[in-house]
Amino acid sequence: MIPDSLKQLLSHLDGQQQASWQGREVVLFNMAWGEMIISLQGAQVLHFQPAGEDNWLWVTPTPQALPGAIRGGIPLCWPWFADERYADESPERNGAFHGLARHAQWRLDAVDEHAEGIEAHLSPIERLHSQLTARVVIQANAQRLNVELISENIGDTPVKTSGALHTYLAVSDAHQCRLEGLSGARYLDKLRDFAEAEQQGTLAIRGAIDRIYHTNEAVVLNDGERTLRIAKQSSDSTVVWHPDSKLPSDTPADAGRHFLCVEAANTRLDPVWLVPGAQHLLGTTLSRS
């Protein structure tokens, strides 16, 4: 479930190639194990499709023009999630929702190919924070997609940060989706002024949802046609989001039912303190359940 114009870039490709799409540079992979597209705006995986399967990720068919970010795939929310503010607020916090990483230009530092898949390494072209650096490692093969966002404090004082891998999963119908693995987890309901509650049994998506679950467990998504396992690393927050009919302006009504966001995150429930010299790895892994 990606725009035809993006899919067409892969149609005659065999191997790896860089191209332009919607004014953005993208890196295309069409290999024996499957397909992947990474946007160098945001180091964002836009498309992942193992050989013989449908696409696992969703991208809006009407993305914003630059410098707007692309809705879909796996945007990086860094060095803060949503519009969180902390007591150690720094000059970098200029009001950008979900941080600076998803708007920034990144470089492809290396691609390691092997028999089963590839590993891509990316870093931002310009510094995004006075004390923190970021890099991204993307591993893809026929069985799974793994994305790692690695932060390091190269400054002299501790830094408090949050973030998310804001994954848009392609589904047949969001209202038919069920998530296993959240039962018993406490959550904050952002649609009810962050009211706290506990999940009872399977989560069935029936309308608008925006919740932060306090859990580090993997979840399994079933949309009636396939199941995907969403695991994570160094994250005690799982964000589940779908806007129902109140779609963002860059999402047409006929496309809005075909995604569900399930995000590995560090939020107000589990912010990360990095002392000088320390690193933190936030990871998400999609695989067949």
CATH code, 279: 2.70.98.10
For residues 70-89, give the mean pLDDT: 80
Token pair of 137, please? Answer: 């490692």
User: Residue 84: which pLDDT band, with cuts at 50, 70 and 90?
Assistant: low
The rounded mean pLDDT for the chain is 93
Residues 19-23: contacts with CB under 8 Å, at least 24 apart: 22/63, 22/65, 22/66, 22/70, 23/65, 23/66
Q: Which domain holds residue 123?
A: 4-288
| Whole-angstrom distance, CA of residue 161 vs CA of residue 159 | 6
- Structure confidence at residue 94 (pLDDT): 52
- Structure confidence at residue 88 (pLDDT): 45
- Structure confidence at residue 2 (pLDDT): 81
Bridge partners, residue 283, by sequence: 148, 233
User: Residue 3: which pLDDT band, with cuts at 50, 70 and 90?
Assistant: confident
- Structure confidence at residue 1 (pLDDT): 73
| Whole-angstrom distance, CA of residue 69 vs CA of residue 84 | 19
- Structure confidence at residue 87 (pLDDT): 38
- Structure confidence at residue 86 (pLDDT): 47
Q: What is the DSSP string of 105-133?
A: BEEEEEEEE-SSEEEEEEEESS--SSSEE
| pLDDT exceeds cutoff 80 at 96 | no
Q: What are phi and psi of 200, to 5 degrees?
A: -110, 110
132: Cβ contacts below 8 Å, ≥ 6 apart: 79, 151, 152, 153, 154, 155, 159, 161, 274
- Structure confidence at residue 82 (pLDDT): 83
* Residue linked to tokens 């050989």: 51
Q: Which candidate, 43, 148, 147, 164, places its Cα nearest to that of 104?
A: 43
∠ at Cα 166 (286, 50), nearest 5°?
30
Q: In angstroms, what CA-CA distances link 132 with 67, 80, 181, 237, 249?
A: 23, 12, 33, 21, 32
pTM score of the predicted model: 0.94
For residues 189-208, give the mean pLDDT: 97
For residues 73-97, give the mean pLDDT: 70
Number of domains in the chain: 1
How many Cβ atoms sit within 10 Å of the Cβ of residue 147? 27
